[in-house]
Amino acid sequence: MRRGRLIVVSGPSGAGKSTLIRAALDAVPQLAYSVSATTRPPRPGEVNGRDYIFLSREEFERWIREGRFLEWAEYSGNLYGTPAHRVEEYLESGLSVILEIELQGARKVRQKRPDAVMIFVRAPSLEETRRRLEGRATESEDAMEQRLATAVEEVAARDEFDCEVVNDDYERAKQEMIEIMRRIVAGGEPC
């Protein structure tokens, strides 16, 4: 069986990464999602083990010492990391694995795994990113402003990625994301 491919999806908070990834996972059976660990508290509706593995900072730091992360980073005051073990299992079994991670983590993965496919997702503008974060209403005012400030740096790094999906019209962007994922699992050029 051919090994799966590692896929990084990155981009500003509120761009629509999670929404587009959910649609791609539903449409493309050869894909798996890497559940990250985080010290951020769960949002209403988030399930431990499905959306994230929710850890205390102490537990997270122990996982770092034990070398359990493929990459980890601090974002908006919380730690986020990709457990390496499960990713390897998926790749070995022939599934391609999506990592939904922020920019510092994306750069670490690109260094460690130059064969990873790097996909950047953004909303058409910063104003629209703000509207979406306001609409999602999962962050405090302060946390939202911090995420929007980080978004400016993230958009400046978009040339570091192989593909860019501008999530303007949802149906169009969803189709584009699905097509990219289909090409990746078929072993072709993603974009």
Closest CA to 60 of 46, 45, 42, 40: 40
Contact 30, 94 (CB under 8 A): yes
Per-residue tokens: 186: 């078929």
In the complex with ligand ADP, which residue's Cβ is closer, 28 or 151?
A: 151
Under the binding rule (CB under 6 A), the answer on residue 165 touching ligand 5GP is no
Report the nearest approach of ligand ADP to the CB of residue 73 (Å). 16
- One residue of 6, 7, 8, 73 binding ligand 5GP per CB under 6 A: 73
In the complex with ligand ADP, which residue's Cβ is closer, 70 or 165?
A: 165
Q: How many residues does the chain have?
A: 191
- CA atoms lying within 13 Å on the CB side of residue 43: 8
Residue 102, binding choice from ligand 5GP, ligand ADP, none, Cβ under 5 to 8 Å by partner class: ligand 5GP
Look-up of token digits 């999670």: 18
Under the binding rule (CB under 6 A), the answer on residue 80 touching ligand 5GP is yes
Under the binding rule (CB under 6 A), the answer on residue 161 touching ligand 5GP is no
Handedness of CA 108, 181, 157, 151 (dihedral sign): negative
Choices 24-32, 101-109, 127-135, 175-183; region in contact with ligand 5GP by CB under 6 A: 101-109
**Torsion angle (degrees, nearest 10) of CA 23, 123, 72, 54:** -60
Residues at the interface with ligand 5GP (CB under 6 A): 13, 36, 40, 71, 73, 75, 80-82, 100-102, 105
